[in-house]
Structure 1
């Protein structure tokens, strides 16, 4: 018979949590990293003044990323590409995913504007060669189908013309720029949450303990009540 798991009650678990000492400086660094990564330039500057936490990055690079991100979100993809190239041409040459996302989005914007012939030529000359990489082939085929479908709104590729696609492209480019600036592609907070989820899964194999089901409230749930 398999041994039952060890159980840790709410009171004991709270004592263990309270025994953990988290330095304010470390918390401030975590907040600063989030603000820098997400591109809140004004908040970065203000938090730097109030907390004394160094951003460890030129604030103009944060602003530059947000200029590019906003341009993509507004459908001004050519402006975004020109801005990225002016900052560092290697950002796109070293990140095929971001390059494909931008060119794909430019193709979509041409379709959105009804410039079908121009879109066809663009797909053949710019987008098609990238699709030779097998990882981009499926997405290229979906995108190219916008040229031949008569009722895109009711098709399986209707998502390509939604604003959420612009936001996804903007995030892909932001990630590429972030890597070139900080060697990170996501916030440290995101990484910590992923690590927490992994540890939680592993610990659950051996122990029953109060868990946080909803991180928006961080409320602990007593295992005895579950």
Structure 2
């Protein structure tokens, strides 16, 4: 037998031993360990409030504040203003959204050229969507082309958007995703994040990040042990370990 196959065989034996030597943690032992971890209710309430505030559920945040006594770290009134901007973009009313952003804080767009370009790009997309071809060409030339000359990335995005005009049926063209609702949502999300940052608030809620950390930790632990795993994050049910 050649040295190569001897090495392969040894590696296979080692891998097999490692697979069979995984530590098995019973549900009883696992639940005991979980119960030993003390988590304050106040911290859980803050996580919930952080999610409600960041995602813009102002009514739910207000009810949760009254029921739990958890105070949000920003004025809840500003959430309504932020959500009005987000809704305007999602509905295609970009000019209205820009006005509302400037009413909130003019520096948001003054200091974020990429965000302003993407809002103007969305305006162009809405003109094309509504069949206003001449107005779209004029807007692209006067408002977006000068910015494209200063930034190669902006120029590429502009060229891609203007290419929509080359198709009679823009909804079924190769660039049709620009007209999809997901494009509006993407722009709205970018605006939402910028407003949150201007208010010294985290742009992403903490709760989804913690769930991602849970998934990562379980994947790491899978290599070393068999344990009651959480496979369904929606109900967080512990499933018996499989050996």
Normalising by structure 1, what TM-score?
Answer: 0.89
TM-superposed CA distance for 1:216, in Å, is 1.2
For the Cα contact (< 8 Å) 2:89–2:184, is it kept in 1? yes
* 2:226 aligned with 1:208: yes
Q: Of the two, which has the highest radius of gyration?
A: 2
Q: 45, 59, 69: which is aligned to 1:28?
A: 45
TM-superposed CA distance for 1:81, in Å, is 0.3
Report the secondary structure of 2:233's partner residue: coil
TM-superposed CA distance for 1:94, in Å, is 3.1
Report the secondary structure of 2:236's partner residue: coil
- What CA deviation, in whole Å up to 9, does each residue of 1:109-129 have, x standing for no partner? 111222111211222232234
Q: 73, 91, 94: which is aligned to 1:77?
A: 94
- What CA deviation, in whole Å up to 9, does each residue of 1:172-220 have, x standing for no partner? 1111111111331110112212222332333333333222222112122
TM-superposed CA distance for 1:137, in Å, is 4.6
Gaps of 5+ in 1: none
TM-superposed CA distance for 1:142, in Å, is 2.5
For the Cα contact (< 8 Å) 1:9–1:210, is it kept in 2? yes
What pairs up with 1:61-210 in 2 under 5 angstroms? 61-131=78-148, 132-210=150-228
Could you tell me which residue of structure 1 aligns to residue 33 of structure 2?
Answer: 16
TM-superposed CA distance for 1:88, in Å, is 1.1
- What CA deviation, in whole Å up to 9, does each residue of 1:21-40 have, x standing for no partner? 21111111111111110111
For the Cα contact (< 8 Å) 2:226–2:242, is it kept in 1? no
Give, in whole Å, the separation in 2 of the partners of 1:203 and 1:134: 45
What is the aligned residue count?
Answer: 225
Larger mean CA deviation between 132-141 and 34-43 belongs to: 132-141
Q: Pick 1 or 2: higher relative contact order, CA cutoff 8 A, min separation 6.
A: 1
Q: C-alpha root-mean-square deviation of aligned residues, in Å? A: 2.0
For the Cα contact (< 8 Å) 1:175–1:185, is it kept in 2? yes
* 2:77 aligned with 1:60: yes
Give, in whole Å, the separation in 2 of the partners of 1:81 and 1:56: 25
